[in-house]
Chains A and B, each alone.
Chain A
């Protein structure tokens, strides 16, 4: 026993001289390097996470604060002027400039103030030096008006008039009288909208349809009697619609007249007055007299307006509902196009094609297709889908509306198909991987039961590969939702007159142009007449785009997980 233990410890000692002792050994060089590598990898991950969080925080802070109603501040300037508005930003003017003019310690604060009243003063924003301000106050009686046109108005209420008659005067009396009158005007406004979009819109649509039918009749070769008979029917319909239109139009004029009967006279901080129709005011608030709760209510209302309303004032105000709708619908159409295309191609490549040089070549080409710049796909979409396919469709099916194109111009269908081409490599690659992951032995099991190859693929291979295919779809949808460049030439517009899905037959209008969140961000941020005022809206829209994409992905991911659970048991 003692001999054995002796020899064992001797052997251990021999090893120890080469590799260090087994216990209590000081950390060596390789171990330190391993530790450093661990920290490096962890650091890289942390940096990435930090970036993502920073982006989201930036968007959230800038975007979400936009809807919060700030207090109105009145500044008395040293030169005697008075300025009323919301303080948006206080920044330190550049130090270099300060030292050059006023000595070393004169870093001055500059205030960016939204003063609204674009129709009176011409500008929404002013920059003021803090040193010029004599006094600040927050008068309780000042009013902020959100208007249909010209942006916000800040000031005090002076008078309420109907025609030449004064209904109320003085800030308090006008505020009291304004509330009920305003509600009534908003109802009238809704009625006008209904008439314009509903009644008159429908009649216009009918008139246009009849006009096209008449043009079509001219193009057809018909016996003279038949032609004149049909023409008479169309003319009668047209005359009837025209009469209906005239009636509706006169009703609209009457409504409009009544709508603008009452006017509100506002006084700005520096004493100018402005008269406006009560109906053009969307919302009147006294921010300085509001509590947090009522401000919160305004906040929620504004967020709701953003996601549910049409844009106004060349997209700088109002909501972005058409853009959200256009984005989601375009992505859905794209998915319907890309799923069969990608999956069938992958099935052929993986299951049917003889694996060899040619298939390898095709696979490389498909992978490289994913790297082609998206604008190139846009050009292809314009040349092939819009001009060639769309032009042919127009000549064959819609000759009556030529030269005005129907499908021969950008539209949501062509945009969706262009993006489907753009994303099909992603789907092919993912679907191929999913198919390759189905074990050979499972296929053999199906064949051994007498199933044909087609039955095996349909009943066993494709269901088993479905989660992998859906992963590809998720990637494709995420890519498509964020793509802007190719869409600018195949159907995306700044302002679409109608949604691609509505109540008029055939309900789904694939030829219509559409709005898109990605383009909306660019348009509002850089193409708008009032870039300063809309910058926060850009952040809010970007945040919304992320939310929309995330929601669509979550739907697809939950579908995939459902499939995984269904096919893979409780194990996964």
Chain B
């Protein structure tokens, strides 16, 4: 509790003044890998994100929670610029990754996505073999040597705790696997290209509790190497896996801080109402 006190010292003073009641509660982050600065996003006329600023620490798990439509998935998809694909999206503000803006027109967007991997809400293996699914990212990068690929595939599947289940059927279609296995395959596929950040967009929403537990376990194992950002509907999950939690509501960041603090002693009324299940 003592260390969280120091981290949120500025937040506590901010909340104290009535004039700053509307501003989000934010902790001080020492080693941010991603800095989101005053980010706003419009879908056509509709404003989906409203001046969000937060910093994501390296090699920790950050969770975005909030009711449906609060913009948490949109925010996540801004980080690897996947929102670019949607017509009529307009973005203001900035996201800094390694001291550069990801919206810099000179930036190689494919190189960015290689370094910021993503796992989706619904498992989305390619209609290829298990092996080819994991090797896909490497092939895109021009790694085609069989020996290198074999090594990468094995290492990635082991990291995703899937190797023992599939090592005898690597050449079979990935679509024949169970839902949980498919989702772990997608994680293996993401870590095969050795990204620095992994974005997880409600990765367990379609899985049963046992498969969910395995993914959560896996996330803890991956923490030593990767920065992870997870969007989840499930507050228990957020409290179990994440180090930091951000609560978003109607496109605004309401409160951001160490997970224990958010769940045990939230600063804001809205956060408390959501956590205790009074709405959402």
Contact = CB atoms under 8 A, between A and B. Distances in A.
A449 B120 contact: no
A444 B81 CA distance: 11
Interface-central residue, B80, B112, B121, by most chain A CB under 10 Å: B80
A464 B127 contact: yes
Contact-residue bracket for chain B:
20 to 34
A455 B109 CA distance: 14
Contacts of B128: 460, 463, 567
Q: Which 6 A-B pairs have the closest CB atoms?
A: A569-B176, A450-B114, A569-B173, A567-B127, A448-B118, A569-B175
Given A439-B124, A444-B120, A449 B173 contact: no
Interface string B86-128: 0000000000000000000000001111100110111011111
A449 B189 contact: yes
Interface stretch (B4-12, B133-141, B156-164, B228-236): B133-141
A571 B114 CA distance: 31
B152 interface: no
A256 B189 CA distance: 77
B136 A459 contact: yes
A571 B189 CA distance: 22
A350 to B, nearest CB: 15
Interface of A: 439, 441-442, 444-452, 455, 459-460, 463-464, 565-571
Contacts of B175: 567-569, 571
Given A449-B189, A567-B128, A441 B173 contact: no
A451 to B, nearest CB: 5
A442 B124 contact: yes
A393 B128 CA distance: 45
B126 A450 contact: no
Given A567-B173, A568-B173, A451 B140 contact: yes
Given A449-B190, A455-B140, A569-B174, 7 more contacts: A441-B120, A442-B126, A449-B193, A450-B110, A459-B136, A567-B127, A569-B175
Nearest to A567: B127
B18 interface: no
A447 B80 CA distance: 10
Contacts of A451: 110, 136-137, 140
16 contacts: A441-B122, A442-B126, A444-B120, A447-B82, A447-B85, A447-B113, A449-B137, A451-B110, A451-B136, A459-B136, A460-B126, A464-B127, A565-B173, A567-B175, A569-B174, A569-B177
B172 interface: yes
Contacts of A464: 126-127
B193 A450 contact: yes
A444 B85 contact: yes
Contact of A449 (B114, B122, B172): B114
B123 to A, nearest CB: 9
A543 to B, nearest CB: 39
A311 B128 CA distance: 50
B186 interface: yes
A448 B110 contact: no
Nearest to B129: A566
Nearest to A566: B173
Q: Which of A439, A448, A570 has the most CB of B within 10 A?
A: A448
B120 A445 contact: yes
Interface centre among A459, A460, A569 (most CB of B within 10 A): A569
Contacts of B111: 450
A439 B120 CA distance: 13
A438 to B, nearest CB: 8
A459 B138 CA distance: 13
Contacts of A571: 175-176
A567 B174 CA distance: 8
Contacts of A447: 82, 85, 113
Contacts of B172: 569
| Chain B CB within 10 A, most for which of A449, A463, A570 | A449
A567 B177 CA distance: 13
Given A451-B110, A464-B127, A570 B120 contact: no
